[in-house]
Amino acid sequence: MAKGRIEINEANCKGCTLCMIACPQHVIQMETERVNVRGYYPAMLVDPEGKCTGCAICAVACPDVCITVYRQVSVRQSQTAAASAG
Ligand code: SF4
Ligand code: SF4
């Protein structure tokens, strides 16, 4: 299974929960104790077991483009991609 992580631009998050609902790994939660500069409870990644796969479904779901996705690519995958590109 691929590994990934996300970064959420908290300041732009409006707390709509769409990313939390969309995540198939259930690793996004809403903050409940502090608000962002806009007064919303922001989304946050809570992934102690490293379940995020970098699938980017959350980023696609976010209407405010707050989520950046990073996906770990193995050396073998990157070599295969380079071979098929070249
Ligand atoms: S990239 Fe996929 S698994 Fe990771 S937090 Fe977003 S929706 Fe969930
Ligand atoms: S979908 Fe975007 S705006 Fe909505 S809670 Fe998630 S990060 Fe915030």
- What CATH number corresponds to the domain at position 24? 3.30.70.20
The residue that leads in pLDDT, 70 or 73, is 70
Task: For 54-67, write each residue's pLDDT tens digit.
Answer: 999 999 999 999 99
Domain enclosing residue 13, as ranges: 4-85
Closest ligand 1 atom to residue 55 Cα is: 2
Best residue among 32, 40, 62, 68 to mutate for probing ligand 2, ranked by most atoms within 8 Å of CB = 62
Range 34-59 average pLDDT: 98
| For ligand 2, mutation pick of 7, 19, 37 (most atoms within 8 Å of CB) | 19
- The pLDDT, as a whole number, for residue 75 is 75
User: What's the number of domains the chain is made of?
Assistant: 1
Q: What is the mean pLDDT of the chain?
A: 93
Distance 69 CA to ligand 2 centre (A): 13
In short, whether 6's Cβ falls inside 6 Å of ligand 2 is: no
11, exposed or middle or buried, with CB in 10 Å at 0-12, 13-18, 19+?
exposed
CA triple 63-67-69, angle to 5 deg = 135
CA 6 – CA 62 distance, rounded (Å): 12
